[in-house]
Each structure stands twice: as C-alpha cells, then as structure tokens.
C-alpha cells in the first residue's frame, strides 16, 4: 500500500508555484469581456497565444470594459483546451479588486467570472497538459465540467493546480449557479479524469482552497478508465457543498467528492464537505469490469457539518460511502481506503458505510476507519453492508465488507480518576495480538451501538483476545464504545455501549454480618481484578495494594464508609497510573476495628 502524506502535495504545489514565478516567459493580458471573445485581448485569444508560443506563459487580467467591479466573460463555444507542455498560469487575482484574503475560500473576493451559459456543450477550462495553474476565477453555468483535468499519454497530465476558484456558485459565493447542466453524463465542478476513448495518466494534480458547490453531478470527481491511471491527486482545504461562509447549503447534486473506477492513492484533506445530495465522500469501484478503487485517504475533514464544526448540514446519504454510489449504485470493489481523523456527523444515513458486491468475498475489505469523531448520524456510525447492526458471531467467519469483523465486547468501564479503565474481549479469526482496539466516548445511538463521538485511545489484545485501555476524558455516567481493526486493516462497526461506573461499588442489598475482606477474582489476573470487602458499621476505611517490600503501590479506597458490602477494582497501575510489573502483591483492609491482608498475583 502507498500512503502519501499531505506535505508531499503541499511541497509539490509550492515547487510548481515557485517554478512558475521563475520561468513564465510571456504574458498575455485579458482586456475585454465582450461577447465576441475571439478578438485580441479576449480570454480565448490569450489561451490560443499561450498554446502557440513555446515556453511557460502567464494570462493576467485588466478588464476595464463595463462598470465593474465584477466582469463576466461569456465564451460563445468551448474555450481552447490547455495543451502547451510547459503550462500556463491563468491568474484572476491580477484583476484589480480581486484577492484571496487571509483564509480562502471564505475570505476571497473574485471579480472575474467565466460564465458558460452561452457556450453550448462545453467545459469551462479543459486541461490536457502538465503544470498549469488556474486561480482566482469564478467558473459557473457550463453544460459540462467546470474545470476538467483530463489524462493524456506520456508524460501525462500532472502538477496542475486549481487554487481559490469558485466553481459552481455565483461570484458572491452565496448562490447556486452550478456547472453540468447538460445531464446526459455525470459531470463535476472539478473533474480529474481518464476517459475510455483517450487513456493516459493524471497524477499529482491539486485542488486547493476552492469553493465548489451547486454542481451536477459531483463537486470534485477523480476517476479513471483503465488502461489509464489516475492517482496521487489531492483536494485540500476546500468548501464543497456549502456557501462561501460555510454556513448555508449549496450542495452538489450527487457526491461532494467522488473517487472511482481504479483511481488510487488520492488524498482528501482538511475540507468542509457538507450539504451534498448523495454522500459527502464516495469511493467506489466498478463491478461489471472488475475495477478496484483502492488506497485513497480521507483525512481531517468536516463531513455533515457547517464550517463552524457545530451546525448540522447533512449530506443526504452517508458521510463516507465505500462501495455504494447514490441510492442504487452498489458496485463494491473498493479496498484499502483509509478514513482517518474526520468529524462525520448529522448525515442522512450512516456516518461511514461499506458495501461489498456479491461477486466475490474480498472486494470491499481492509478499509480502515480510525481516530474519527462520528456522531448523530441518522442510522449508524459505521455500517458494514448497509443493513443495520451486524451481530458478532463465534469465530468471526464472515465474508462481507471488511470481512464483517466482530466488534469488541466491553466487559467493564471503571472510573479510577483521572483515568478510566475500559476492558473487554475480541473474538476474531486473525491474530488478536495484531489487532487494534480503539475506544470512544459515545454520543448515544438509539441502537445502543456507538456512535463514537470522541476518540479516547487505542490498545491491543493478548493472545486470548483480552484487552484493557486506560483512557482520559471520562466521568462516571459517560458511555463508551469501541471498534476492532484487525491485522489486515478491516475495521468493525461500533460495539455495544457500556456505561462508566465507579471503581468502588456499594451493594446496599446485602447487609454485612461482619467485617470481611474477600480473595480477589480473577487471581492471577492480567488486566483488572475485583476485590470485595464488608464493613459492619460506619467507619474509616483504608484499602491499599503493597509490593513485597511493603511499599504502598495503590490506594483503592479511603475515607468514611457506611455499613455495607463493596466491590473495588484494581487495574494493575500505581498512584501515577503507570502499569506495575508482574509479580506477587498484598492488599490490606484496615478499619477502626478490623485489619486483614491477602495476597494476589499480577501476571501480564
């Protein structure tokens, strides 16, 4: 598996920008926005000049025809595709009054609009070469793609940057004007694509800090048709499906971001992806041709929330949909994708859903769902097979999406202050030692299984499938859940919720007849053991763990206790919540009238 960090894309973009600044050799200025856009000084003329004259070029803007400050260019047909192998910078920020602001796209002011309402069957910008940059433009109302980055043969279409453009909205960023109005095909605001008729390569292209909303069908589409290859593209820090403020729904008509048909190793990072009419992010293969869409990364996005991270703005279907497109496109064939550190909330169906086609038992496996905040989705937080909670089964023999790996069973969640010890078991058909169990604080799902709203930590199981995790940020009365990710990267659904209780529990139903200190159970123990004691009347109590040298390791109970029977738990940690070594320990109960000592064995 290839996993490419975001920094590599950022450095690539920086390299391209620096190279462009140093090497652009000719500048063509757009001076007019008249309907007859083929004249010298028009955008069409400038693109033709940049394509014809060798070397990298710049197209800048200084339009003065009309009142301004907004200038709209209406192409009367398809603008010339960009095919110069040395690239061109098309820079809308050069128009006086334009600027990106401190936090684009929300702070951008764009004053050049390229409006396709008179262009007929055409894309807005059509890129067929490497190292082009389009920035600071509004692109809307085209019948096909707003911006199309299309794969070409060796060396391919690469290192193109679309920066701080509004694609599909009006120039204010507040209204849905869209692209893709001719709905004979599934167009997109920004489309990175290899077509069946023209196989080639599209890679290392970046869509950065753009507003991409109101388009039919997708906001951003990254797709491939073999024998071509589309890979290592990035969508970074964009607003997708919302307005320029990020607080109103201008959803794209299908997925916010779509990755399909063998596109691989692409990164979707740091975006707001909300308000879309299908899913926030869709990752699907194509079963009829056996096309797999693998190893894509969805990282650190807000999915189903407005830009404030609080206000619900649901995607109508799933937050992230793997293997299923829209309401009926059950294509499967998506493996090894990673959904990491996102906030996925308030979506119309599930937070994350994985679908596997029935043609084989391995076409939607090894999809890792890790460290996310998932809550308040309409169905489940994580759903394998889009069929509600998938019960565990003995030995975990399933063969559905993500092998329908069993979720963890939490046996107890004991608050010791400041940490809580969560313990449980896993029953899976791969090596449990190599499995990761992630623990979450719950925002309760009506099913009682998840959802995991706050990631608390990760632990591993022993050879018997037993595990324990000491986690912060919980209080008595909170609820916890957990997921299993096995050694092959298959993540389970959320496990059944368990409430956090005090590590000292009083049983008022049993009235003690005498003072007593019971033998701990289990003994020996490896994770948590329980110790029972009784006091005959209200008295001061001390219950402590000692090592063989007589040093106090842990205070389990202290202070006044009323008459009753109590249960106390020890998780094998000291007063600093650090795990102590295996060995023999003593525990002693002391009251005003009673002292008793017993021996226990910790065997990790």
Torsion 15-21-23-28 (CA) sign:
positive
pLDDT digits (tens, 9 = 90+) for 48-73: 999 998 889 999 999 998 888 999 99
Q: What are phi and psi of 491, to 5 degrees?
A: -100, 140
pLDDT digits (tens, 9 = 90+) for 186-236: 999 999 999 988 899 999 999 999 999 999 999 999 999 888 999 999 999
pLDDT band of residue 328 (cuts 50, 70, 90) is confident
pLDDT at 15 over 50: no
Residue 44's H or E segment, with its range, is helix 43-52
Q: Which residue has the tokens 């969805």?
A: 298
Instruction: Provide the mean pLDDT of the chain.
Output: 92
Looking at residue 508, its pLDDT comes to: 56
What domains are defined for the chain? Answer: 6-402 (2.160.20), 405-501 (2.60.40.10), 505-602 (2.60.40.4070)
Contact at 8 Å (CB) between 89 and 82?
Answer: no
Looking at residue 390, its pLDDT comes to: 95
Pairing of strands 272-273, 239-240: parallel
Looking at residue 295, its pLDDT comes to: 97
Looking at residue 24, its pLDDT comes to: 55
- What DSSP line would sit under 447-492, residue for residue? TSB--EEEEEEEEEB-TTSEEEEEESS--TT-EEEEEEE-TTS-B-
pLDDT band of residue 560 (cuts 50, 70, 90) is confident
pLDDT at 116 over 90: yes
Query: Token pair of 481, please?
Result: 């859940």
Separation CA 369–CA 398 (nearest Å): 19
Contact at 8 Å (CB) between 316 and 276?
Answer: yes
Can you name the residues that pair with 544 across neighbouring β-strands?
555, 588
> What is the rounded average pLDDT of the residues 541-552?
93
Looking at residue 6, its pLDDT comes to: 44
Looking at residue 239, its pLDDT comes to: 98
Least confident of 13-22, 77-86, 306-315, 454-463: 13-22
Looking at residue 22, its pLDDT comes to: 42
pLDDT at 383 over 90: yes
Residue 114: is it exposed, middle or buried by C-beta count within 10 angstroms (0-12/13-18/19+)? buried
Strands laid side by side in the 352-354 sheet: 125-127, 147-150, 188-193, 218-223, 257-260, 281-284, 320-322, 352-354, 382-384
pLDDT at 586 over 90: yes
Looking at residue 507, its pLDDT comes to: 67
> What is the rounded average pLDDT of the residues 20-47?
79
Cβ within 8 Å of residue 330, ≥6 positions away: 323, 324, 355, 357
Return the higher-pLDDT residue of 81 and 511. 81
User: The whole model's pTM is what?
Assistant: 0.88
Strands laid side by side in the 504-507 sheet: 504-507, 564-570, 529-535, 516-517
> Quick check: bond before 12 cis, omega within 30?
no
pLDDT digits (tens, 9 = 90+) for 213-223: 999 999 999 99
pLDDT at 593 over 60: yes
Residue 303: is it exposed, middle or buried by C-beta count within 10 angstroms (0-12/13-18/19+)? buried
Residue 453 backbone zone (phi > 0: left; psi -120 to 50: alpha; other: beta):
alpha
pLDDT band of residue 17 (cuts 50, 70, 90) is very low
């Amino acid at each position: 598996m290839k996993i490419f960090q975001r920094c590599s894309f950022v450095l690539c973009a920086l390299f391209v920008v620096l190279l462009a600044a140093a090497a652009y050799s000719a500048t063509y200025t757009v001076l007019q926005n008249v309907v007859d856009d083929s004249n010298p000084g028009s955008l069409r003329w400038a693109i033709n000049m940049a394509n014809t004259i060798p070397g990298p070029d710049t197209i800048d803007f200084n339009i003065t025809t009309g009142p301004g400050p907004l200038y709209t260019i209406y192409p009367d047909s398809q603008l010339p595709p960009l095919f110069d192998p040395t690239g061109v910078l098309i820079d809308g920020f050069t128009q006086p009054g334009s600027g990106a602001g401190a936090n684009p796209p929300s702070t951008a002011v764009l004053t050049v609009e390229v409006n396709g309402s008179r262009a007929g069957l055409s894309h807005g910008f059509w890129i067929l070469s490497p190292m082009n940059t389009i920035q600071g433009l509004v692109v809307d109302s085209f019948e096909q793609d707003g911006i199309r980055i299309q794969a070409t043969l060796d060396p391919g279409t690469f290192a193109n940057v679309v920066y701080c453009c509004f694609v599909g909205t009006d120039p204010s960023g507040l209204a849905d004007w869209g692209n893709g109005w001719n709905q004979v095909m599934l167009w997109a605001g920004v489309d990175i694509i290899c077509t069946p008729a023209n196989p080639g390569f599209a890679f290392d292209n970046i869509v950065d800090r753009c507003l991409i909303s109101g388009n039919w069908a997708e906001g951003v589409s990254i797709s491939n048709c073999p024998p071509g290859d589309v890979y290592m593209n990035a969508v970074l820090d964009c607003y997708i499906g919302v307005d320029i403020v990020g607080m109103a729904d201008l959803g794209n008509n299908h997925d916010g971001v779509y990755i399909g048909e063998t596109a691989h190793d692409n990164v979707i990072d740091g975006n707001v992806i909300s308000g879309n009419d299908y899913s926030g992010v869709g990752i699907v293969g194509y079963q009829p041709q056996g096309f797999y869409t693998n190893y894509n990364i969805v990282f650190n996005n807000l999915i189903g929330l407005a830009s404030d991270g609080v206000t619900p703005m649901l995607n109508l279907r799933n937050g992230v949909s793997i293997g299923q497109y829209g309401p009926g496109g059950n294509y499967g064939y998506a493996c090894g994708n990673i959904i990491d550190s996102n906030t996925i909330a308030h979506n119309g169906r599930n937070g994350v859903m994985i679908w596997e086609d029935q043609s084989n038992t391995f076409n939607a496996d090894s999809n890792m769902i890790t460290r996310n905040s998932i809550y308040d989705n309409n169905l489940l937080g994580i759903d394998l097979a889009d069929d509600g909670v998938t019960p565990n089964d003995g030995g975990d023999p399933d063969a559905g999406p993500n092998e329908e790996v069993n979720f963890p069973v939490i046996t107890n969640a004991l608050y010791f202050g400041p940490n809580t010890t969560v313990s449980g078991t896993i029953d899976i058909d791969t090596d449990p030692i190599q499995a990761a169990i992630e623990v979450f604080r719950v925002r309760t799902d009506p099913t009682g299984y998840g959802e995991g709203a706050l990631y608390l930590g990760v632990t591993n199981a022993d050879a018997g499938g037993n595990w324990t995790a000491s986690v912060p940020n919980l209080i008595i009365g909170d609820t916890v859940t957990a997921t299993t990710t096995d050694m092959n990267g298959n993540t389970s659904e959320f496990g059944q919720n368990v409430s956090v209780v005090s590590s000292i529990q009083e049983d008022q139903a049993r009235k003690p007849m005498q003072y007593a200190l019971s033998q701990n159970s289990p003994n020996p123990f490896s994770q948590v053991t329980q110790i029972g004691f009784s006091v005959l009347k209200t008295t001061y109590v001390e219950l402590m763990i000692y090592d063989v040298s007589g040093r106090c390791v842990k205070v389990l109970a202290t202070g006044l206790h009323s008459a009753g029977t109590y249960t106390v738990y020890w998780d094998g940690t000291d007063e600093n919540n650090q795990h102590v070594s295996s060995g023999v320990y003593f525990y002693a109960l002391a009251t005003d009238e009673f002292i008793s000592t017993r021996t226990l064995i910790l065997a990790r």
